[in-house]
Amino acid sequence: MRIGFGIDYHALAPGIPLVLGGVQIPSTLGCVAHSDGDVLLHALCDALLGALALGDIGQHFPNTDPQYKDKDSTYFLRSVYAKVQAEGYLLCNADTMLLLEYPALAPHIPAMRAKIATLLGAIPHQISIKATTTEGLGFIGRKEGIAAHACVLLQRA
Ligand code: MG
């Protein structure tokens, strides 16, 4: 078995769609990014890569590469999981945490879990998504940015 973790941050700005876990969330703020800025999927990619010591998402999909401009992050997660499978591993479970002050995510978490499960050939029971605020503290509390942490466990296929 192999364990991996990943973290991602993005700045928030008005007038940008907010995409988290591959799901578009109604919000007046979205993530400033080269891709679609899906912090949750980016953290999951790094956790999956980290579990097999395959480097990080920036090495596999450089944010200076024009082919990844505004890219749907489901592409990154699918590609990373294909690498995991090529190494002979499968996902046991993923546990994730989003840190954000706004918007409220609870109504959207079932759809995000279902989407990620589909992308990883898993069932929602294997995918945990939790969310917390920072009680108004720091840049997250000021709604200047959001963060995601992810932890995965893999087993030999
Ligand atoms: Mg990112």
- Summarised one tens digit per residue, pLDDT across range 27-45 is 999 999 988 899 999 999 9
**Who surrounds ion ligand 1 at CB < 5 A?**
8, 42
Q: What is the DSSP letter of 61?
A: S
Q: How far is the centre of ligand 1, averaged over its atoms, from the C-alpha of 86 (Å)?
A: 24
Going from the Cα of 119 to the center of ligand 1, the distance in angstroms, rounded, reads: 18
Which pTM was predicted?
A: 0.96
State the pLDDT at residue 65. Answer: 85
CA of 92 from ligand 1 middle (Å) equals 24
SS3 of 48, please?
Answer: helix
- For residue 138, report the distance from its CA to the centre of ligand 1, in Å: 19
**Ligand 1 mean position to 145 CA, how many Å?**
12
Q: What is the pLDDT of residue 71?
A: 85
Cis before 66 (ω within 30):
no
Q: Which of the two residues, 103 and 69, has the higher pLDDT score?
A: 103
67, 1, 2, 75: which is closest to 45 by C-alpha? 75
By percentage, how much of the chain surpasses pLDDT 70?
A: 100
Helices (H), the chain: 39-51, 57-60, 73-86, 109-119, 138-141
pLDDT tens for each residue of 56-75 = 999 999 888 888 888 899 99
Residue 36 Cα to ligand 1 midpoint, Å, equals: 9
**Average pLDDT estimate for 80-96:** 98
Furthest-apart CA atoms within the chain: distance in Å: 44
Give me the pLDDT at residue 37, please: 94
Residue 8, φ and ψ in degrees, nearest 5: -145, 150
